[in-house]
């Protein structure tokens, strides 16, 4: 049974499956030990030892030295032990090599079955460890099959299956088997069904990761994302901040002629993306967050977390957005409740107005007391 070819076959198998040799040998020894016990008696305390360097396999049985033997499979008398080695005393463990000829064809077949199972388990653990490192990242996947509720994917570089549910699909996604798509690995878990890789194209971090892939200033720390909010398929708003002097954070994210941001938009099937500069001034921040709408006037109650915004009447629908998504996202981005109304008459006196480049901003006393 045991020869050089056997161990060379094991090495080939290790290389093919990408399995650690020590892990594989340990699992194989455990499998062969189980097979030997099944064939020669479960009561015997035996263990199979493999030595790939010497191309040998040996079976050892272990018995404890006692004064009086009650279990011949697990115990050996002191008198008999001393015949093996004079220094043995009560309590010592005597290891004896068993004949491999008793390890017959039935036992070998049993070992093969257990080994096959062990290899599957080791492969699964290896793949799980590999994919676990991808949790919270973007991977490329291939669409395998589609049913009413889910899309099943082949995760690139693994044998694992990704699960893309309805809520994780973009409304504009029109997938078919064989399509290659990018997905965000949202969660990985092991249950009775095996390893389940839950992926998403609607998660807010999908946009974050896509942008980081295109903008080196984000990965090297020159620009940071302060906040990002999203209504998948409609619009995403992102506030960014430069971490080094004289750097245009928004321009860095957009790229030359919009190349960087357009790559992200294309992956999202045309989903609109607004990138704005973060400002510690809440009024400026809210005005920017309402982009692409123009703001005529804004009153901010910082204590209550409310902003009242006036926009030109013909821009009201743009400020609010389809189904209210623009103002809703601006509110989530800034953390303020935003009330948008059309401009009527200028009611504030010039002493109460602080001018900015694109809006008149009225700040209540609480704001200035907060600054003080």
Q: What is the CB-side half-sphere exposure of residue 15 using CA atoms within 13 A?
A: 6
Strand 180-191 and strand 138-146: pairing? antiparallel
Strand 360-363 and strand 354-355: pairing? antiparallel
pLDDT, position 74: 87
Mean pLDDT across 330-347: 84
Domains of the chain, with CATH numbers? 4-130 (3.30.1480.10), 142-201 (2.40.50.140), 203-278 (3.30.300.20), 290-372 (3.30.300.20)
Query: Does residue 176 have a pLDDT over 90?
Result: yes
Query: Does residue 371 have a pLDDT over 50?
Result: no
> Cβ distance 14 to 27 under 8 Å?
no
Angle at 117 between CA 112 and CA 122, to 5 degrees: 120
Residue 342 CB coordination number (10 Å): 14
Mean pLDDT across 335-340: 95
pLDDT, position 352: 35
CA distances for 266 relative to 172, 273, 294, 360, angstroms: 11, 11, 26, 36
Mean pLDDT across 186-194: 75
Mean pLDDT across 155-170: 86
pLDDT tens for each residue of 208-257: 999 999 999 999 999 999 999 999 999 999 999 999 999 999 999 999 99
Chain length of the chain = 372
Residue 47 Cα to chain centre, angstroms: 40
Determine which helix (DSSP H) or strand (DSSP E) holds 274, and give its type and residue range: strand 272-277
- Per 3-state DSSP, what percentage of the chain is helix, strand, and coil (rounded to 5)? 40, 30, 30
Edge-to-edge order in the sheet of strand 306-311: 337-342, 306-311, 297-301, 360-363, 354-355
pLDDT, position 3: 61
The label of the residue with tokens 């909010």 reads: 229
The label of the residue with tokens 């070992």 reads: 111
CB within 8 A of 367, min separation 6: which ones? 282, 300, 302
Q: What ranges in 220-307 are assigned the alpha helix state H?
A: 249-254, 259-267, 282-289
Query: Does residue 1 have a pLDDT over 90?
Result: no
305 DSSP 8-state letter = T
Query: Does residue 121 have a pLDDT over 80?
Result: no
Query: Does residue 113 have a pLDDT over 70?
Result: yes
pLDDT tens for each residue of 295-313: 999 999 999 999 999 999 8
């Amino acid at each position: 049974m045991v020869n050089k070819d056997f161990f060379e076959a094991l090495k080939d198998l290790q290389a093919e499956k990408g399995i650690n040799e020590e892990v594989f040998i340990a699992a194989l020894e455990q499998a062969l030990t189980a097979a030997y016990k099944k064939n020669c008696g479960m009561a015997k305390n035996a263990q199979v030892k493999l030595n790939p360097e010497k191309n040998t396999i040996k079976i050892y049985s272990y018995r404890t030295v006692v004064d009086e033997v009650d279990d011949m499979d697990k115990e050996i008398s002191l008198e008999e032990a001393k015949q093996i080695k004079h220094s043995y005393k009560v309590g010592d463990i005597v290891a004896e090599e068993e004949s491999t000829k008793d390890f017959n064809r039935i036992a070998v077949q049993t070992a093969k079955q257990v080994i096959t199972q062990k290899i599957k388990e080791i492969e699964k653990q290896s793949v799980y460890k590999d994919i676990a490192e991808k949790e919270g990242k973007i991977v490329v996947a291939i669409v395998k099959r589609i049913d009413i509720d889910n899309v099943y994917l082949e995760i690139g570089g693994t044998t694992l299956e990704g699960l893309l549910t309805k809520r994780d699909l973009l409304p504009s996604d029109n997938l078919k088997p064989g399509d290659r798509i990018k997905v965000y690995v949202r969660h990985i878990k092991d249950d009775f069904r095996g390893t389940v890789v839950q992926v998403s194209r609607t998660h807010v971090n999908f946009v974050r990761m896509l942008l980081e892939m295109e903008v080196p200033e984000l990965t090297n720390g020159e620009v940071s994302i302060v906040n990002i909010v999203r209504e998948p398929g409609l619009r995403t708003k992102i506030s960014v901040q430069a971490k080094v002097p004289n750097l245009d954070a928004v321009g860095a994210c957009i790229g030359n002629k919009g190349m960087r941001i357009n790559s992200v938009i294309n992956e999202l099937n045309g989903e609109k993306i607004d990138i704005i500069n973060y400002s510690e001034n809440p009024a400026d921040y809210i005005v920017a967050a309402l982009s692409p709408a123009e703001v005529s006037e804004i009153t901010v109650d910082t204590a209550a977390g409310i902003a009242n915004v006036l926009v030109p009447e013909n821009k009201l629908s743009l400020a609010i957005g389809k189904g209210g998504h623009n103002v809703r996202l601006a509110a989530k981005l800034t953390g303020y409740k935003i009330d948008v109304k059309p401009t009527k008459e200028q009611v504030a006196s010039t002493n109460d107005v602080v001018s900015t480049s694109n809006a008149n901003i009225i700040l209540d006393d609480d704001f200035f007391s907060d600054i003080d």
